[in-house]
Amino acid sequence: MVLTQQLESAVVEPVSVPGDQGRALPNAIKMVAELGDVQKTFYVFGRKDMLGETYSMNLNGIDISATYGSKVIELPFSLHLNKFELERYPGSNSPSSYASEVTLIDDQAGVKENRRIFMNNILNYRGFRFFQSSYDTDEKGTVLSVNQDMMGTIITYIGYLLLTLGMFAALFARNTRFRFLIKRTDAIYKEKKKLMTILLALISLPAFSADLNPPHAITAEMGNAFGRVWVQDNGGRMEPLNTLNGEIMRKIVKHHTFRGWSADRVVLSMMIDRQYWQEVPMITVKHDELRAILNVTGRKAAFQQFFTPNGEYKIRQIVETAYRKPGGQQSKLDQEAIKIDEQVNVFYMTQMGSMLKIFPQPADSHKPWLAPGARPADFPQEDSLFVRNIFGMYIDALVQKKNGKADEYLTAIVNYQNKYGADILPSDTMKEVEIFYNESSLFMTLSPYFLILGILLLVFQLIRLVKPKYQFKWLMRIGFTLIIIAFALYTAGMGIRWYISGHAPWSNGYESMLYIGWSVLVAGLLFSMISDIALSVTSIFSGVILMVAHLSWMNPEITNLVPVLKSYWLTIHVAVIVKSYGFLGLSAFLSFLNLVLIGIKTPKNKLNISSTVELLSSISEMSITVGLYLLTIGAFLGGIWANESWGRYWGWDPKETWSAVTIVVYAFVLHMRFIPDMKGLTTFNIWSVISFASVIMTYLGVNYLLAGMHSYAKGEAANIPAWVYYTTTVIAVVVFYAIFNEGKLRKVAETKE
């Protein structure tokens, strides 16, 4: 707003002004100008991304003009777009990268040079920073965002560096709180004997009995050969059919196998014996109303039960109604209907083979690959006939039990892929590694291992607190060795996923969950030198994390990266941030255990348990310290990444906002000891547990409930799951009982005095 003279006062507030005949007008600012006893109200229309019209008026002889909207800033140089380039993943509309070829023209300085602007590579000239923001839908124009920053970058980065050095100094310098905690834990540890562990034999769960008996037997060898054919997924990633088949099984039956059959055997058999599989109960139906409509007595329904004898879809009306509702207004019935509808569609598409994009286009392998039966008009006749018929011939050969012919047809498909798609196909070694990764189900297997081992370790350690005469030293050594072996397997699995995907395995919700579990183990192994209880708690926590990672709303699929994540900052920033969650999670679990110990403390075991609580509280505080430092440094690195990618350090995106909230929350927890009424160990442990809710909100809540710049890490949208309420209830009960028992023991002690 520009005023020719100073007004006595001006009140500005945002309003919504309806247009004529219901037409929407741009946003408006309501303004009230006062001069003496004269007052006039007027509206200025505009928007933050447009130039608003100037409103002019005269108030008691004073000319007033006001505008609302963007401000035009003339640059001392110009940019000319020469070419905009958009690269997509082969066979997909998903952008792999986009870039602008521009000419920088500065007549004053005599500069005329070509520059290239793309994601994570900005143009910086005379304090102005241009970064690739978006592009026109016709792909002929580019959208660049600009930010002016003269010396701010250098000053900001120096500030980040100094704060980081200060954090490291607080960990290793003398006479710091962290060093005091180390000394205190050493003193307590010397007074206590080593805590025990126990050996857990690996328990192999029995597999389902192979009670499947389709008309045409598909052997494991047939399934393995089928699973080794390359296929292109919807995102353009090339993967073995074994991977796609596993995803189909997880979508339909929520597991990578079915009644002892591998995913390759099931999918291949579904395409051969369609009628048989349509009668096999595979689709889980949880809602009673849906079971009543389908006339299903158990929890599983067969494909044919979803249709009437006339072919009408029984739940069509429910599904259509559910899809019309916004996510937040969908009932349990709506959500269940949508999930089941997706499973029914995946089942049908699997039997039709429409998801098997296994044929490259001869003219250009980067175009979308084709599914069996496609009728390409622009193909040479020989190739067109091959694509149209070869897969059907392969299926017919299996039906007629001509296995030799079937192998020949499958080999012909593989040769066709190598002939026309060799330039985008990964190596055979990568194929074999990915199949090994899929079939091993390493992370899913490790989940119950860590969980059961940790629980047994913790139970025996609690027994030791009550009856110190039991030590089991040799079991402690064996148990420690078992966790080291499991950790090595975990690390190998992360490395394999990194090799297969071609990027650091923490780019989406599932991968970052795996990395948190790995980070928790690292933290637990470090603190196990002080207390073996830290190791057992770590094992439990890692098992829980791996279990959550394999819930239905987590997608374990390996996907291509969005352009903004194609940066070395993904490896650095996300690794530091997510590792901080591991240390903060370990602190929460240790503190929860402390609250349990406080709740079971009696006058007889008070001395022993109090010593353990003090030891674990010290470890918890050290874990918070390391986690808070990593979280803060990760935020610094995120600011640098944002500056390099988007031209700004901080934008109050939901993820950024909640990261800041988490930093403040844990900074408060570490400084509570300076508040007289909040310096006790019980209070510290309560807040350590409660504060982890901010981490859960930052990591899961933002990704799955909110939208923002960090939505590339998002999984399937979800409402607040039931386990949140159950967990909150359990924590509340433990907290209140610990407070109650602590108060009761204090009264007993005062009575004796």
The pLDDT tens digits for 525-561 are: 888 777 777 888 888 888 888 887 777 556 777 776 6
Confidence at residue 414, expressed as pLDDT on a 0 to 100 scale: 93
Asked if residues 104 and 115 have their Cβ atoms less than 8 Å apart, the reply is yes
The pTM of this model reads 0.64
Question: Please, what's the b/e burial string for 422-436 (b: 16 or more CB within 10 A of its CB; e: otherwise)?
Answer: eebbbeeebbebbbe
Residues 6+ apart with CB under 8 A from 469: none
**Pairing outcome for strands 111-118 and 128-135:** unpaired
Residues facing 55 on adjacent strands: 66
Taking alpha carbons only, the member of 696, 702, 705, 687 closest to residue 727 is 696
In one letter, which amino acid is 588? A
What is the DSSP track for 256-283?
SEETTEEHHHHHHHHHHSHHHHHTS--E
The first and second tokens of residue 283, run together, are 């689709």
Question: Please, what's the b/e burial string for 599-622 (b: 16 or more CB within 10 A of its CB; e: otherwise)?
Answer: bebeeebeebbeebbebbbbbbbb
Confidence at residue 9, expressed as pLDDT on a 0 to 100 scale: 39
Confidence at residue 577, expressed as pLDDT on a 0 to 100 scale: 82
CA distance 487 to 134: 42
Asked if residues 639 and 709 have their Cβ atoms less than 8 Å apart, the reply is no
Asked if residues 183 and 614 have their Cβ atoms less than 8 Å apart, the reply is no
DSSP-derived secondary structure letter, 52: P
Confidence at residue 108, expressed as pLDDT on a 0 to 100 scale: 85
In one letter, which amino acid is 352? M
> What are the residue ranges in the chain where pLDDT is below 50?
1-25, 189-210, 707-717
Confidence at residue 209, expressed as pLDDT on a 0 to 100 scale: 37
